[in-house]
Amino acid sequence: MGAAPDDVEQRVGEIYRDESRRVFATLVRLIGDFDLAEDALHEAFAAALTQWAADGVPANPRAWLVSTARFKAIDAIRRQSRFDASVGDLGERVHQPAPRPEELDEARFRDDHLRLIFTCCHPALPPETQVALTLREVCGMTTDEVASAFLTKNATIAQRIVRGKAKIREAEIPFEAPGVRELPDRLDSVLSVVYLVFNEGYSASAGEAALRPDLTIEAIRLGRILLDLLPDPEVMGLVALMLLHESRRDARTSPAGDLVLLEDQDRTRWDAALIDEGRRLVARALASGPVGAYTLQAAISATHAEAPAAGQTDWSRIVDYYDLLLRAQPSPVVELNRAVAVAMRDGYEAGLELIDAILSRGDLVDYHLAHAARADLCRRLGRGDDARQAYQRALALTQQAPERRFLESRLAEIG
């Protein structure tokens, strides 16, 4: 029996949002080609809008989408083979027996997604290509979002993605998860992918919403799977970091969707269960071996979580953690975050001097959060003109609507 078109459209949209990248991962395993799998995926969802309206939503929508997309890919290969003899191998792969619906259960979809992440993080690819390709093709982030995560140009990211696909095709890199002995060689890139996916969900690089819970939830899911596969201290640290950040999600925006800064959040709305789990993982990671960057960031987040009020935050301990983090992972962004912590420990002037030093040497000049941090310290110091100029610079660089509204409100306060 058919369903109302509006209901079907809503259901298809929900499945696309929640499941499309896992369906895509299974298609890549079955088809062996990124672009063909992507085209077939979209054709299958288009077919679902029509067929489900007539026949109703199937009991196993993901299996239906995989089966339909696979047949769409076969049709595309047949059409292409009339003009291009080089598609023969691909055709043989797609024409393998179709998986039965019962084979496409949650475990298989989960394994396919993680398998594709490890494929994209193969050592044959340069590290920056591994991460960019995985974020775009596996996690569904746009090229703009990936470029924002890397603080680089769209064209640069697009080239990395194209070259990465070509390398996988030319080197015939298998779509499979590595053995336990191979896992450590790919772990850094995989953790980077999961971390950047979470970051895009934690603070969207553009758009009308500040948060994208679909991405944070998916990143945590992948992190938990990795932790089951490899209980490495840095995997523990990353999962802890994501849980501790996620614990504050409900308090980070107002009912209208506006940003609420950490110091102004209602801490009773923080998720105590996630905080407890995150703190336990931080303790395990700190006690398990050499301390890495994710564990140190998680320790910083745990310190915030332990403070019953913003004014009781142990900023000295946070600065100490940032000092260690700068040694483990030196970067201008870490320097910026440390400068803010120093401002809270030693005074706003001390933090402002550190931020000015970063900007004066040419680092983070196009990073809106650097100018927003500078503006905030100038505002607290009563330097209205400097604060106004810094807020205006930050406003010109941000593409996220809630951040724009926040910066505009600060400018209005200064007058």
pLDDT, tens only, 269-318: 999 999 999 999 999 999 987 889 999 999 999 999 999 999 999 999 99
pLDDT of residue 321: 97
pLDDT value at position 102? 47
* Backbone torsions φ then ψ of 324, nearest 5 degrees: -65, -40
If phi > 0 it is left, if psi is from -120 to 50 it is alpha, else beta; for residue 394 that is: alpha
Q: What are phi and psi of 259, to 5 degrees?
A: -70, 140
Q: Is 170 exposed, middle or buried (0-12, 13-18, 19+ CB in 10 A)?
A: exposed
Residue 9 pLDDT > 50: yes
Higher pLDDT, 115 or 397: 397
Q: Which tops the pLDDT comparison, 172 or 413?
A: 413
From CA 131, how far away is CA 135, in angstroms rounded? 6
Residue 254 has pLDDT above 50, yes or no: yes
Sign of CA dihedral 211, 203, 230, 185: positive
Instruction: With beta carbons less than 8 A apart as the criterion, state whether 216 and 201 touch.
Output: yes
Asked if residues 265 and 291 have their Cβ atoms less than 8 Å apart, the reply is no
- pLDDT exceeds cutoff 80 at 113: no
Q: Of 4-8, 11-15, 41-45, 258-262, which gets the smallest average pLDDT?
A: 4-8
pLDDT of residue 104: 47
Q: How confident is the model at residue 116 (pLDDT cuts 50, 70, 90)?
A: confident
Residues with Cβ within 8 Å of residue 243, at least 6 apart in sequence: 220, 274, 275, 277, 278, 281
Task: Tell me the average pLDDT across 110-115.
Answer: 74
Q: 180-194 pLDDT, tens per residue?
A: 677 777 788 889 888
User: pLDDT (tens digit, 9 = 90+) per residue, 217-244?
Assistant: 888 988 998 888 788 999 999 999 999 9
Instruction: Give the amino acid at 341.
Output: A
Q: Mean pLDDT across the chain, nearest whole number?
A: 87
Instruction: Give residue limits of the domains in the chain.
Output: 1-104, 106-173+185-230, 231-305
For residue 31, the model assigns a pLDDT of: 85
Q: Provide long-range contacts, Cβ within 8 A and 24+ apart, for 99-106.
A: 99/30, 99/63, 99/66, 99/67, 101/60, 101/63, 101/64, 101/67, 104/26, 104/60, 104/62, 104/63, 104/66
- Whole-number pLDDT of residue 81: 63
pLDDT digits (tens, 9 = 90+) for 341-379: 999 999 999 999 999 999 999 999 999 999 999 999 999
The pLDDT score that the predictor gives to residue 100 is: 53
**Mean pLDDT calculated for residue range 84-108:** 50
Q: Partners of 399 in the beta sheet?
A: 206
Q: How far apart are CA 398 and CA 378, in angstroms?
A: 19
The phi, psi pair for 374, rounded to 5°, reads -60, -45
Mean pLDDT check: name the lowest of 174-178, 196-200, 235-239, 393-397.
Answer: 174-178
Side chain identity at 125, as an amino acid letter?
Answer: L
